[in-house]
Amino acid sequence: MRMKREPVTALPTISASAIDVAPIRYVDRTLDNGLRVILAPDRRVPAVAINIAYRVGGKDDPPHRSGFAHLFEHLMFKGTARTAPETIDRLTEDVGGYNNAFTSEDITNYYEVIPSNHLERLLWAEADRLAALDVNAQNFATEREVVIGEYDQRILAEPYGMLDELINREAFAVHPYRRGVIGSPAELNAASLEDVVAFHTTYYRPDNAVLVVAGDLDVDETLGWIGRYFGKIGTPATPIPRVRVVEPEQTAQRTYEYRAPNVPLAALEQAYHIPAASHPDAAALDVLETLLGYGRSSRLYASLVYDRQLATSAYASADLREQPGLFSVRFTCARGVALADARAALEIELERVSTLPPGDAELERVRTQIASSVVRSHQTNNGIALMLVRATTERGDPEVVNGDLARYLAVTPDDVQRVARTYLRTANRTVVEYLPA
Amino acid sequence: MNEPDLLIPPAGPPRDALLPAPVERVLDNGLRVVAFSQRNLPLVSAQLVVRCGGAAEHENEAGLSALVAALLTQGTTARGASELAATVDALGAQLNAASGFDASVVGVSATTPAFPAAFALLDEVVRRPAFAPAEVDRVRTKSISDLALMYANPNALVRLVAQRVAYAGAPYGHPLAGTPATLAALGRDRVAWFHERFYRPDDAVLVIGGDLEVEAAFALAQRVLGTWRAPDAPLAACPDGAIPVPRTRLVVVDKPDAGRTALLVGRTTIARGSPDYYAATVAAAVLSGYSGRLNQEIRVKRGLSYGASASLSARRMPGLFGASTLVDHTRAAEAVEVTLAAIRSLADDPPTDDDLITRKATLTGAFHRGIETIDGIASALSEYVLYDVALDELNHFAPRVNAVDARSVREFAARALIPDDFVVLVGDASKFVAELGARFADVRVIPVERLDLGSLSLEALSATG
């Protein structure tokens, strides 16, 4: 007999605390020359990911050379004393892998994903470009044009391309985070080949790097290769310069109005100073981000976009960095909606989250979303390698990757309200209005 | 570094993958279930593959299967679109649906404790979609505005035109996303009709796997989908039909506002089930990638473009092979010649067995990266069940690619890639059409404002006749 199904109308939910994931197992060593090496083996699929992060990013750009760390990232692909330009591309793409790099405010991270039988070759190539980078005047000039072209395309030509730059510049009064990462074409044009050599010497050294390999690897064999190729690279006696500037507490709201020709619809971003990624409030700030602005069930989407149709998009972002960063809320107006009307609706949501703790069911949904995304982030070798890189460089300890799930599950409704009230204050915010010219 | 370390070390021997062994059973209602267990992470994924997609829709209803798939996740008889989205979020799940020419696929993934409830949502959207008129309107309006974006992009447009040139009125000829005219004419009735006719257990396959034992996967499939009844109507036959040889070898869509000219050299080749599949895949790889022949000729040697590549979509019926690139308008005619020559070189100047080593590595490397996740494994298995490929292909793909030799690539190219090929260009014709006419016979130019992808002739009927 066939059973007739009852219509399902109850809302199925689960408890976030039911979600668990095994810790990432890794080996953590530091070579005599100061290179930090982290290996996370997983031998299911014959592929492996290498990430090598140097602790130098946009905030560390030399004076009057904003954008230099990012320009330097491009130069690392231009060949060495022993290899032709684009060697890393050939060693990865031609064997079924890929590679790339990115520069953030805090780090420059280079990565390769390759079939595991090519691991030794790529470790050799990464050591080679650390030890023997060879940049000449011609490829320096060409690559600088490429980077300025990227600025023109990504910052100037894209609608809202300047928004992140403006937020950093207006929110930070003295901290070098105010310069962003992409920098300025004028300062890039002022850079010389001598600057390149000095930068490589200052920051590209074993004791300023974290090398993570995740995937199909044998720990002893890989440590042998790393010792052989990286171990002999010397460490200068000079100390590595570190940013020690402390941004003073903001005491009054700052507002900046920006007009540009390629703005289809008015947009607004409000940024609030928050502590560093290693601060105990970081987990509650991540929860606040998801509650306010991640997914179709988030408060900003439900209110501004779906119910009231004042905005075409609305989201929140906890931009946690090595040093104190920013929590942002942002929306783009719907066609025909005045910026002030959408902003008033945003204010209601910010007021609500600061004055009332979220309900248990809502917080459970948010914790489940975050816990599920933590589990998903364990799926690929490159995802695991990047997590370990960021934990080590931005939070000072790779082991924090194995405590995050518990930290998110421990966030209470009162914690969410407390961080909202502590940081989402008017005096602590910078507002950028991005308007059509 | 010491002297011996000045040279780049050689690659080691390739390593094998440890892959799960999928198991297949058929439920009483005819639903095939393929289950696999991979318990390294607390995640489970399922894909329901309905073996009918765009190829089953009528020419005049292009876009119907895509509309049906898009609407499945926009509300059920139990909950509206917003509540469904909130429910998916509360489970930390991902739920999506899409259609292709040969199939429509509904997928769900979630953490292990959330999966049973998430899987019940998959069942709910597949068996009891609401197709609320307001949602039909909303999705249709959005689909029509998405078409405008697609038509503005020469790269996307050249593929749509090539499909029509290659297949004319045969099943893969019309645009999967429809045309503004066909979408405008589709309403809730036709959406519900397509769903009722083609979404049925006896013509579907469930692929389910991840953090559970295969027996538990079968039990869950039986409990949730075992009550899904097949309609009494007989199964629709899979669409078939002869694929015509294109009448025009060279079609130009004149689009004066295009930034660059997109070009595609194509021809219909093989079905996924063909024994030539691996040779064909390797042949496309010889042409593709940075070190592939197309990029070497077009970018590295001549600076005609930022890149060029070839792809092969093997389907139930013979799929389209296409080599494509994006070039400055003034050099379009030259780029056509270079592209044709690069494809012909597969027979005239064939790669050696040594040349093939790196090209085959690009295929096996991408394959292994693709199956790093359970979603990737489920997608690979879905393709196998759809095209009647044995499930142990998971373990055989890499060795079968590696077994392809230079001779089989050359013979395949000479037989199935080079004859009967055609060329489509989308760009500012005034800058290249004279040169093209001097180099090639039989060039047909269609002004973009007269282009109608819904018409077998590609041109709108003129109102004045």
d(CA A31, CA A211): 11
CA of A223 vs chain B CAs: smallest distance (Å): 16
Cα B46 from Cα B372, distance rounded (Å): 16
Q: Please give the structure tokens belonging to residue A400.
A: 């924090």
ipTM, 2 dp: 0.86
Tell if the CB–CB gap between B362 and A93 is shorter than 8 Å. Answer: yes
Helix (H) or strand (E) holding A300: helix A299-300
Alpha-carbon distance of B12 to A121, in angstroms, equals: 9
Which helix (H) or strand (E) segment holds residue A272: the answer is strand A267-273
Q: What type of residue is B204?
A: A
CB of A381 within 8 Å of a chain B CB? The answer is yes
Whether B308 contacts B325, CB under 8 Å: yes
Hey, are the CB atoms on B8 and A125 less than 8 Å from each other? yes
Of A121, A84, A99, A90, which Cα lies nearest the Cα of B358?
A90
Find out whether A103 and A181 touch, Cβ atoms under 8 Å.
yes
* pLDDT at site B237: 78
- Is the CB of B77 less than 8 angstroms away from the CB of A228? no
Q: What is the pLDDT of residue B69?
A: 98
Domains and their CATH numbers in chain A: 27-230 (3.30.830.10), 254-436 (3.30.830.10)
CA B445 to chain CA centroid, nearest Å? 28
Q: Could you please report the per-residue DSSP string of B380-410?
A: HHHHHHHTT--TTHHHHHHHHHHT--HHHHH
pLDDT of residue B462: 60
* C-beta atoms of B113 and A18 within 8 A: yes
Mapped onto helix, strand or coil, the DSSP state of residue B115 is helix
Name the more confident of A393 and B146: A393
Q: Is A134 on the interface with B (CB under 8 A)?
A: no
Amino acid at B369: R
A287 in Cβ contact with A411 (< 8 Å): yes
Please give the mean pLDDT across all residues of chain A.
93
Residue A371 at interface with chain B, using a CB cutoff of 8 Å: yes
Inter-residue contact A268 to A339 (CB < 8 Å): yes
Rounded distance between C-alpha atoms, residue A366 and residue B52, angstroms = 37
Kindly write down the DSSP assignment for every residue of B268-325, as one continuous string.
E--BTT-TTHHHHHHHHHHH-STTSHHHIIIIIIT---S-EEEEE--BSS--EEEEEE
Q: Token digits for A268?
A: 């607004």
pTM of the model: 0.90
Confidence of residue A231 (pLDDT cuts 50, 70, 90): very high
Alpha carbon distance A285, A215 (integer Å): 31
Q: pLDDT tens-digit profile of A246-290?
A: 999 999 999 999 998 778 889 999 999 999 999 999 999 999 999
DSSP state of A303: I
Mean pLDDT (whole number) for A351-358:
97
> Nearest-CA distance from A370 to chain B in Å?
8
Residue contact A232–B1, C-beta within 8 A: yes
Nearest C-alpha in A relative to B367: A96
**What is the SS3 assignment for A115?**
strand
Scan residues 148-177 of A and list those with Cβ closer than 8 Å to B.
none
- Does B12 contact A371 at a Cβ distance shorter than 8 Å? no
Of B19, B121, B361, the CB nearest to A115: B361
Question: Token pair 């915010």 is at which residue?
Answer: A429
* Cβ–Cβ gap B121/A12 under 8 Å: yes
Beta-bridged to residue B266, according to DSSP, are B322, B422
Judging contacts by C-beta atoms under 8 Å, the chain B residues touching residue A97 are 365, 369
DSSP string, B190-203: HHHHHHHHH--GGG
| Three state DSSP letters for A38-55 | EEEECCCCCEEEEEEEEC
pLDDT at A373 over 90: yes
Distance CA B93, CA B102 (A): 26
Sheet order of strands, A27-30 included: A27-30, A36-41, A209-215, A47-54, A108-115, A98-103
CB B265 within 8 A of CB B336: yes
Looking up tokens 């000829």 gives: B173
Domains identified in chain B and CATH numbers: 23-225 (3.30.830.10), 250-450 (3.30.830.10)
Q: What is the pLDDT along chain B (465 residues), one digit of tens a residue?
A: 445 567 899 999 888 878 899 999 999 999 999 999 999 999 999 999 999 999 999 999 999 999 999 999 999 999 999 899 999 999 999 999 999 999 999 999 999 999 999 999 999 999 999 999 999 998 998 898 888 888 888 999 999 999 999 999 999 999 999 999 999 999 999 999 999 999 999 999 999 999 999 999 999 999 999 999 999 888 887 777 778 887 778 999 999 988 899 999 999 999 999 999 999 999 999 999 888 999 999 988 888 887 899 999 999 999 999 999 999 999 999 999 999 999 999 999 999 998 899 899 999 999 988 998 999 999 999 999 999 999 999 999 999 999 999 999 999 999 999 888 999 999 999 999 999 999 998 899 999 999 999 999 999 876 443
d(CA A78, CA A84): 7
Spatial distance between the Cα atoms of A62 and A11, rounded to a whole number of angstroms: 55
Restricting to A residues 17-46, those with a Cβ less than 8 Å away from any Cβ of B are 18-22, 42-46
Would the CB atoms of A47 and B111 count as touching at under 8 Å? no
Q: How many other C-beta atoms can be found within 10 angstroms of the C-beta atom of residue B437?
A: 15
Which residues of chain A lie closer than 8 angstroms to B227, CB-CB? 2-5
- Would you call B291 and A19 a contact, using CB atoms and an 8 Å cutoff? no
Contact assignment for B87 to A115 by CB distance below 8 Å:
no
Distance separating alpha carbons of residues B396 and B376, to the nearest angstrom: 16
Residue A387 pLDDT > 90, yes or no?
yes
Minimal CA–CA distance to A227: which of B321, B164, B2? B2
Q: Which residues contact A224 (CB under 8 A, 6 or more apart)?
A: none
Separation in Å, CA of B328 to nearest CA in chain A: 19
Contact B43 A7 (CB under 8 A): no
pLDDT band at A4 (very low <50, low <70, confident <90, very high): very low
User: For residue B314, what are the contacts with CB-CB under 8 A and spacing of at least 6?
Assistant: B269, B270, B271, B272, B274, B277, B280, B281, B387
Q: Give the residue from B39, B94, B111 with the most A CB atoms within 10 Å of its CB, the best one to mutate.
A: B111
CA separation for the pair B81, B89 (Å, rounded): 12
Q: Identify the pLDDT of residue B1.
A: 44
Cβ–Cβ contact A359 with B under 8 A = no
Query: Contacts of residue A8 in chain B, CB cutoff 8 Å?
Result: 78, 120, 124
User: Which residue of chain A has the CA closest to B286?
Assistant: A94
CA angle B88, B92, B94 (to 5 degrees): 60
Q: What single string gives the DSSP state of each residue in A373-392?
A: HHHHTTSSHHHHHHHHHHHH
Residues of A in contact with B303 (CB under 8 A): none
Quote the tokens at residue A53. Answer: 């992060």
Question: Which residues 176-235 on chain A approach chain B with CB closer than 8 angstroms?
Answer: 216, 228-229, 232-233
| Measured distance CA(A327)–CA(A335) in Å, rounded | 26
> CB atoms < 10 A from the CB of A223, how many?
18
Strands in A429-436's sheet, in edge-to-edge order, are A254-260, A429-436, A267-273, A326-333, A311-319
Integer Cα distance of A67 and A73 in angstroms: 10
| Tally of CB atoms within 10 A around B16 | 10
3-class secondary structure, A335: coil
- Could you give the dihedral angle defined by the CA atoms of residues A402, A408, A412 and A413, in that order, rounded to the nearest 10 degrees? 170
Beta strand residue intervals within A294-387, DSSP E: 311-319, 326-333
Calculate helix-pair angle for B81-90, B115-127, nearest 10 degrees: 160
Q: What percent of chain A has pLDDT over 90?
A: 81
Residue A189, H or E segment: helix A185-190
**φ and ψ of B437, to 5 deg:** -65, -30
Q: B290 and A379 in contact by Cβ < 8 A?
A: no
Say whether B5 and A228 touch across the interface (CB within 8 A): yes
Handedness of CA B272, B276, B281, B284 (dihedral sign): negative
Of residues A351, A366, A395, A328, the one with CA closest to residue A167: A328
Instruction: Report the C-alpha gap between B71 and B74 in whole angstroms.
Output: 5
